[in-house]
Amino acid sequence: MDTTDAKPLESMDLWEEDLLERYPEPEHVFRDYKAEVRPSVKEFYRLNHTHQTNEFVRAKKKLYGALAKAEMSVWEAMEFLNTLVDDSDPDTDATQIEHLMQTSESIRQDGHPRWFVLTGLLHDLGKVLCLFGEPQWAVVGDTFPTGCKYSDKIVFSEFFSGNPDCEKPEFQTEAGVYEPGCGFEKVDLSYGHDEYLYRVVKDYLPKEALYMIRYHSFYPWHREGAYDHLASAEDRENLKWVKEFNKYDLYSKVDERPNVEALRPYYEELIAEYFPAKIRW
Ligand SMILES: [Fe+2]
């Protein structure tokens, strides 16, 4: 891998700002997304779509699925993620912990259950993959199924022409290597912070929370309605939770900065309600 190409985004948050451009709040006027997209975001997706092969995904699932990288408490993982230094201005940009709390605090303000608030706090912790040396294109960005035909609903789908999987005839059908209706559990989505964190927390949180965490970047499905032919009845049933979560993920990051130290006791108690003191990462 060419490591000089590994970091096109000046800040990891740029990918999420870009989502706001693509999926503005309904009352905002429609804008021509492609005309305004940042060159660094475009380059990010070129790398992502070129290198996320089915083989790559399976290898990363195996590597990180072993949970052999670290033993940390949830709060320690939040502090670890906070050490992620982007090239953007640290004085004006919210820290990673502040981002997480902006999401969880808006969920809390709407009176949702405690597990939902906790999910807001946790949902991006898988970005510690960057601190384990993974390039941006293997950590963030919209996710999509590998091992079958790419949907044209995937952002910048034209960049898949550079993906070696395009040469494999068995990957070119609608279902590809999968059985129609098999469920996303059996599908190798492009690798990133969603799948990794799902693996870390799967024994501790309710199923709805796991859906939110595992599929929150799967925009081709939860926003564009693509890949329904691979979904199971259970996936369809839980889509509403993924959509409900997405509102907070997308639109809560422009609010004022939360007071992390003041909120810490509340969140430490919430974490302790669901997690042991240390978990495997
Ligand atoms: Fe995320």
Q: pLDDT tens track of the chain, all 281 residues?
A: 444 567 888 888 888 888 888 888 766 655 566 667 888 999 999 999 999 999 999 999 999 999 999 999 999 999 999 998 776 665 667 889 999 999 999 999 999 999 999 999 999 999 999 999 999 999 999 999 999 999 999 999 999 999 999 999 999 999 999 999 999 999 999 999 999 999 999 999 999 999 999 999 999 999 999 999 999 999 999 999 999 999 999 887 666 889 999 999 999 999 999 999 999 99
Instruction: Please give the distance, rounded to the nearest whole angstrom, from the Cα atom of residue 278 to the centre of ligand 1.
Output: 22
Residues with Cβ–ion distance below 5 A, ligand 1: 124
Tell me which residue of 99, 72, 95, 114 sits closest to 209, measured CA to CA.
114
**Encoding tokens for residue 82?**
């906070």
**Encoding tokens for residue 275?**
């997690």
Instruction: Please give the distance, rounded to the nearest whole angstrom, from the Cα atom of residue 124 to the centre of ligand 1.
Output: 5
**What one-character DSSP code corresponds to residue 166?**
G
Instruction: Please give the distance, rounded to the nearest whole angstrom, from the Cα atom of residue 254 to the centre of ligand 1.
Output: 15
Instruction: Please give the distance, rounded to the nearest whole angstrom, from the Cα atom of residue 141 to the centre of ligand 1.
Output: 8
Q: Give the C-alpha separation, 129 to 197, whole Å.
A: 10
- What's at 127, amino acid-wise? K
- What's at 25, amino acid-wise? E
- What's at 148, amino acid-wise? C
Cβ neighbors of 105 (< 8 A, separation 6 or more) are 120, 252, 255, 258, 263
- What's at 251, amino acid-wise? Y
CB atoms within 10 A of CB 203: 11
